[in-house]
Protein backbone atom coordinates (compact mmCIF):
# COMPACT_ATOMS: atom_id res chain seq x y z
CA UNK A 1 0.00 0.00 0.00
CA UNK A 2 1.24 3.45 -0.81
CA UNK A 3 -0.21 5.06 2.32
CA UNK A 4 -0.29 3.47 5.76
CA UNK A 5 -3.39 1.59 6.84
CA UNK A 6 -5.74 3.86 8.81
CA UNK A 7 -7.80 2.41 11.66
CA UNK A 8 -10.38 4.48 13.51
CA UNK A 9 -12.63 3.55 16.41
CA UNK A 10 -16.07 5.14 16.89
CA UNK A 11 -17.86 4.78 20.18
CA UNK A 12 -15.31 2.43 21.71
CA UNK A 13 -11.78 2.58 23.03
CA UNK A 14 -8.97 1.68 20.63
CA UNK A 15 -7.87 -1.93 20.97
CA UNK A 16 -4.46 -3.30 20.03
CA UNK A 17 -5.96 -6.76 19.47
CA UNK A 18 -8.62 -5.43 17.10
CA UNK A 19 -6.00 -3.29 15.32
CA UNK A 20 -3.78 -6.35 14.91
CA UNK A 21 -6.67 -8.29 13.34
CA UNK A 22 -7.37 -5.43 10.93
CA UNK A 23 -3.69 -5.39 9.92
CA UNK A 24 -3.80 -9.17 9.30
CA UNK A 25 -6.93 -8.88 7.17
CA UNK A 26 -5.48 -5.96 5.20
CA UNK A 27 -2.31 -7.95 4.44
CA UNK A 28 -4.46 -10.84 3.24
CA UNK A 29 -6.47 -8.46 1.09
CA UNK A 30 -3.31 -7.23 -0.64
CA UNK A 31 -3.00 -10.70 -2.20
CA UNK A 32 -6.16 -9.97 -4.18
CA UNK A 33 -5.15 -6.50 -5.24
CA UNK A 34 -1.48 -5.77 -4.63
CA UNK A 35 -1.75 -2.24 -5.96
CA UNK A 36 -4.11 -0.83 -3.33
CA UNK A 37 -3.11 2.74 -2.65
CA UNK A 38 -4.94 3.24 0.62
CA UNK A 39 -7.22 1.49 3.09
CA UNK A 40 -9.21 3.19 5.82
CA UNK A 41 -11.08 1.06 8.36
CA UNK A 42 -13.64 2.31 10.87
CA UNK A 43 -14.75 -0.01 13.68
CA UNK A 44 -17.77 1.25 15.55
CA UNK A 45 -20.42 0.35 18.04
CA UNK A 46 -23.83 0.46 16.40
CA UNK A 47 -25.87 0.30 19.60
CA UNK A 48 -26.24 -1.74 22.73
CA UNK A 49 -28.70 -4.61 22.55
CA UNK A 50 -31.08 -4.89 25.48
CA UNK A 51 -30.13 -8.41 26.58
CA UNK A 52 -26.73 -8.88 25.03
CA UNK A 53 -23.61 -6.84 24.44
CA UNK A 54 -22.66 -4.28 21.86
CA UNK A 55 -23.30 -4.64 18.15
CA UNK A 56 -20.29 -3.71 16.03
CA UNK A 57 -19.99 -2.26 12.57
CA UNK A 58 -17.01 -2.23 10.22
CA UNK A 59 -16.55 0.14 7.29
CA UNK A 60 -13.76 -0.02 4.73
CA UNK A 61 -12.76 2.56 2.15
CA UNK A 62 -10.13 1.27 -0.26
CA UNK A 63 -8.60 3.11 -3.20
CA UNK A 64 -6.73 1.57 -6.11
CA UNK A 65 -4.87 3.12 -9.06
CA UNK A 66 -7.03 4.81 -11.64
CA UNK A 67 -9.20 6.50 -9.04
CA UNK A 68 -11.26 3.37 -8.41
CA UNK A 69 -12.74 2.95 -4.96
CA UNK A 70 -14.16 0.04 -3.01
CA UNK A 71 -16.46 0.95 -0.14
CA UNK A 72 -17.80 -1.71 2.21
CA UNK A 73 -20.06 -1.27 5.20
CA UNK A 74 -20.96 -4.18 7.44
CA UNK A 75 -23.51 -3.16 10.01
CA UNK A 76 -25.25 -5.53 12.39
CA UNK A 77 -28.45 -7.16 11.22
CA UNK A 78 -31.42 -8.64 13.03
CA UNK A 79 -29.57 -11.90 13.68
CA UNK A 80 -27.00 -9.99 15.73
CA UNK A 81 -24.11 -11.66 13.95
CA UNK A 82 -21.90 -8.71 14.81
CA UNK A 83 -21.92 -9.00 18.58
CA UNK A 84 -18.22 -9.74 18.09
CA UNK A 85 -16.06 -7.03 16.53
CA UNK A 86 -13.91 -9.70 14.87
CA UNK A 87 -16.92 -11.10 12.99
CA UNK A 88 -17.83 -7.63 11.70
CA UNK A 89 -14.21 -7.15 10.57
CA UNK A 90 -14.08 -10.57 8.90
CA UNK A 91 -17.35 -9.98 7.04
CA UNK A 92 -16.28 -6.53 5.83
CA UNK A 93 -12.93 -7.77 4.54
CA UNK A 94 -14.54 -10.75 2.79
CA UNK A 95 -16.94 -8.39 1.02
CA UNK A 96 -14.01 -6.14 0.06
CA UNK A 97 -12.15 -9.19 -1.28
CA UNK A 98 -15.09 -10.05 -3.53
CA UNK A 99 -15.34 -6.48 -4.78
CA UNK A 100 -11.59 -6.25 -5.45
CA UNK A 101 -11.62 -9.54 -7.38
CA UNK A 102 -14.51 -8.26 -9.47
CA UNK A 103 -12.71 -4.98 -10.08
CA UNK A 104 -9.55 -6.84 -11.13
CA UNK A 105 -11.55 -8.87 -13.65
CA UNK A 106 -13.11 -5.74 -15.13
CA UNK A 107 -9.70 -4.06 -15.41
CA UNK A 108 -8.02 -7.00 -17.17
CA UNK A 109 -7.58 -6.53 -20.89
CA UNK A 110 -9.84 -8.87 -22.79
CA UNK A 111 -8.11 -11.35 -25.00
CA UNK A 112 -9.70 -11.45 -28.38
CA UNK A 113 -9.46 -14.40 -30.69
CA UNK A 114 -8.29 -14.12 -34.28
CA UNK A 115 -11.11 -13.75 -36.78
CATH code, domain carrying 82: 3.30.160.100
Give me the number of domains the chain comprises.
1
State how far the Cα of 39 lies from the Cα of 26, in Å rounded to an integer. Answer: 8
Residue 82 is classified by DSSP as: T
Please report whether residue 114 resides in a domain. no
Task: Check: CB of residue 81 under 8 Å from CB of residue 91.
Answer: yes
Please report whether residue 1 resides in a domain. no
Please report whether residue 56 resides in a domain. yes
State how far the Cα of 71 lies from the Cα of 90, in Å rounded to an integer. Answer: 15
Domain that residue 51 falls in: 6-107
Please report whether residue 25 resides in a domain. yes
State how far the Cα of 1 lies from the Cα of 4, in Å rounded to an integer. Answer: 7
pLDDT in tens, 20-35: 999 999 999 987 777 8
* pLDDT, average across residues 28-55: 80
What is the chain's Cα-based Rg?
A: 16
Please tell me whether the overall predicted TM-score, pTM, comes out greater than 0.85 for this model.
no
Amino acid sequence: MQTPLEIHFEGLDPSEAVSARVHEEAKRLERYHSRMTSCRVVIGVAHRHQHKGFLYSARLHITVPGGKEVVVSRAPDERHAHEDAYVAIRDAFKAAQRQLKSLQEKMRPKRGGAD
